[in-house]
Structure 1
């Protein structure tokens, strides 16, 4: 039985973004499929974070279109992106340090019971199930964020994104501040997202990480899309030469 290719969960067509006279992104097109990990690579200032901000509703593109599962959408703000099933994990995590893990998992989306009170039991149960499923090693759902290590916090942030994302997770340098062991743990969590049929777009400076995690690699240089390669059909030398422009 031949499998029909799935519809892209995200489809960017002809994306352009200018800030006054500066062109940050020029004619960028990319599809991301369910269960696929695509890496965005390029030097600082290549436009990677700008693209993430366009997909997540922080910026509106100057030209071009964004489609989710074939439907063209207009992301006026981050709330709209979340409503379309898109979640972002930024480098700075955006976790509430003083709050326990389970409250962070539902930050801004806390369920209430029939008496109008916070449904803590449900939040704790769902948090514990998710961190177990993703193998995020934290002492408990009651642990306070500030007491966790960098890797544990990053695990919580990815678990939260996984809980709420139905279509796409955007990861912006998810292991930049972590040590070797914690990086490996986070990479394992990211790999496990493939089985959930969620598309993943990851920005990473580490080509080792990119080749370990990504199905395809998209190279940006000074706002221009240099090319997209299947990871299995390229090597680090080719990607480096695409990033630097030194062929």
Structure 2
């Protein structure tokens, strides 16, 4: 257990973690962004990563997704140590990340966005009809409803664009999906659609980590809540067994002070 971690009895994931981060540290000059952070993700589980601005959430996601290299610590996939030096490494072992800016090409339609950069596979060039069929099948399997998949993404609602970005993350059949603020700036109805989609990811067996500042959304969709504070573990709670007040106390440091 790392220093500053609040241990809650019975809160460890029941299943063997598909992804483990152990003692991850990262410094930027004088700023210690992460200081010995540890985290587990199990298949079929939604873990919410919460904390104030500057707590280290985005840095941890970047370390797991290969955007940055941690100074110390290790990552393990299915219990085996892995080296993730770049985003391609993360994707190759089954980790997919959807960032807050979504990185969609708004002038292209849904089909083109889903397969952008993946038009070629091991059998050669994918034909348009095959990509369209695959798009319809994947959207249907996730119960994502978009009337016209040939409409430019710019014409879709915020919730639909978020759904397209999440669906695109599943093209390579990842086992771990990282979502950075997936409900930020969405309305109530659109937020509900995205939360339902996250639940369906869990039902499909994916290990899902959600970064969010919205504790209502976190409580609605997560199985566990992991709190970071000042770059350190500050709590690991099973959502159904804890109160929002306890989570807030861990975020603010009130629990440690007490």
The interval holding the TM-score normalised by the smaller chain is: over 0.9
Equivalent residue, structure 2, for 1:128 = 136
Q: Counterparts of 1:7-156 in structure 2 under 5 Å?
A: 7-111=16-120, 118-156=126-164
Distance in 1 (alpha carbons) for counterparts of 2:118 and 2:199: 26
**Offset, 1:118:** 4.6
Q: Give unpaired runs (5+ residues) of structure 2.
A: 1-13
RMSD: 1.7
Match among 184, 187, 191 for residue 179 of structure 1: 187
1:161 paired to 2:172: no
**Offset, 1:112:** 6.6
Distance in 2 (alpha carbons) for counterparts of 1:8 and 1:74: 17
What TM-score do the two structures reach when normalised by structure 2?
0.90
- Assess if the C-alpha contact under 8 Å between 2:162 and 2:182 holds in 1: yes
Distance in 2 (alpha carbons) for counterparts of 1:113 and 1:143: 28
Distance in 2 (alpha carbons) for counterparts of 1:227 and 1:106: 39
- Assess if the C-alpha contact under 8 Å between 1:40 and 1:217 holds in 2: yes
Distance in 1 (alpha carbons) for counterparts of 2:32 and 2:190: 37
1:211 paired to 2:214: no
Equivalent residue, structure 2, for 1:198 = 206
- Assess if the C-alpha contact under 8 Å between 2:90 and 2:96 holds in 1: yes
Which secondary structure state, in structure 1, belongs to the residue aligned with residue 254 of structure 2?
Answer: coil
Q: Give unpaired runs (5+ residues) of structure 1.
A: none
- Assess if the C-alpha contact under 8 Å between 2:91 and 2:174 holds in 1: no
| Structure 1 runs of 4+ with >6 Å offset | none
